[in-house]
Amino acid sequence: GAGVSQSPSNKVTEKGKDVELRCDPISGHTALYWYRQSLGQGLEFLIYFQGNSAPDKSGLPSDRFSAERTGGSVSTLTIQRTQQEDSAVYLCASISAGGNTDTQYFGPGTRLTVL
Partner 1 sequence: AQRVTQPEKLLSVFKGAPVELKCNYSYSGSPELFWYVQYSRQRLQLLLRHISRESIKGFTADLNKGETSFHLKKPFAQEEDSAMYYCALRTGTYKYIFGTGTRLKVLA
CB of 92 to partner 1, least distance (A): 11
CB of residue 14 to partner 1, shortest distance in Å = 29
Question: Which position among 7, 20, 55, 56 is part of the footprint of partner 1 (CB under 8 A)?
Answer: 56
Per the CB < 8 A criterion, the answer to whether 93 and 39 are in contact is no
How many CB atoms within 10 Å of residue 106? Answer: 15
Q: Is 50 in the site for partner 1 (CB under 8 A)?
A: yes
| Residues near partner 1, by CB under 8 A | 3-4, 31, 33, 35, 40-45, 48, 50, 56, 58, 91, 93, 95, 99, 101-108
